[in-house]
Amino acid sequence: MALGAVVAASLAVVGATATAAPTGIFAIFSNCPLAALKQVGGEATRCVFGRITGGEMALAGVRVPIASAIELEGGLIWTGNPENAKEFFLIPGANGQVLSNTELPIPAEGLTFTVEYAGSKTHPAIVNLINLAREMGTAIVLPVKIHLKGPRLGYECDIGSQANPVELHLTDATTSPNPPNKPIKGHLGVFETPEEYGLSMLRGSAVLVDNTFTVPVAEGCGGRLAPVLDGLIDSRFKLPSSDGHNTAIMSGVQFNMATSETVEASEKAP
């Protein structure tokens, strides 16, 4: 499938009106972009909901614990890769979001750190279920930007953007970073297939890691003061930061997935 078609499908989410909601164990998919997924249909689509409950993000000079849960939700559309029927583009949920706006405090800095989705046609988010299941290669390509909030920083202080994102290549396998970072390993947990109303979904857990990504400079910090404050943020975070100096550890990852047809059927369940 052409990426342009996927983007068009994701845009169909905007303005869509929900007439029902998933029920029972499928209620977690209430923000699944069913209107967009219907344009593709069949086994080529999925609804996904995940929660990251621990771990940390470390950008060169600053470490940020994941002290509050970050939720991930949206839809999956097959990439069209003939060699992998389980490789999907991740598109935003019905509210236009992929990641929750979870503010994480930065110890001793007086700032908060929010990981925001920054996917685009040029930098799409991709979920590779075969790699996830086999603990090999990249399981999730997740383009993000880091939104910083604090005194005098204004509302548009970001590290990364859609044009130049922080592109995480999360894996449950072993990484191969440049030094001084050393290889770290993720882990695949136990998966199960709970059922309700005669319908089933996939539920599991994992630890996903990446310490091979790069981080660009800050932009837009302080509005008109950006030429000064951007530089101060860059100095404190040691930006730009190359491969081998940054780490993402997503522990306690809870992963849920169901076909879009299953989620839609649950809306009609008694």
What pLDDT digit, counting tens, does each position of 214-227 carry? 999 999 999 989 99
Cβ atoms of 143 and 120 closer than 8 Å? yes
**Cα 30 to Cα 22, 27, 43, 74, 101, distances in angstroms:** 6, 5, 19, 10, 17
For residue 209, the Cα-to-chain-centroid distance in whole angstroms is 13
Q: Which residue has the tokens 């790069």?
A: 214
Point out the least confidently predicted range of 123-127, 202-206, 266-270: 266-270
Residue type, 25: I
- pLDDT higher than threshold 90 for residue 40: no
Q: How far apart are CA 73 and CA 96, in angstroms?
A: 10
pLDDT over 70 percentage in the chain: 92
pLDDT band at residue 61 using 50, 70 and 90 as cut-offs: confident
Cα dihedral 108, 110, 114, 120 sign: negative
Residue type, 79: T
Cβ atoms of 45 and 52 closer than 8 Å? no
Cβ atoms of 74 and 68 closer than 8 Å? no
* Torsion angles phi and psi, residue 236, rounded to 5: -70, -40
For residue 84, the Cα-to-chain-centroid distance in whole angstroms is 21
Please give the residue that has the higher pLDDT: either 257 or 38: 257
| Nearest alpha-carbon partner for 263 in 6, 5, 8, 33 | 33
Cβ atoms of 158 and 219 closer than 8 Å? yes
Q: Is 58 exposed, middle or buried (0-12, 13-18, 19+ CB in 10 A)?
A: middle
What local confidence, expressed as pLDDT, does residue 11 receive? 46
Write out pLDDT tens, residues 67-109.
Answer: 999 999 999 999 999 999 999 999 999 999 999 999 999 977 8
Cβ atoms of 113 and 64 closer than 8 Å? yes
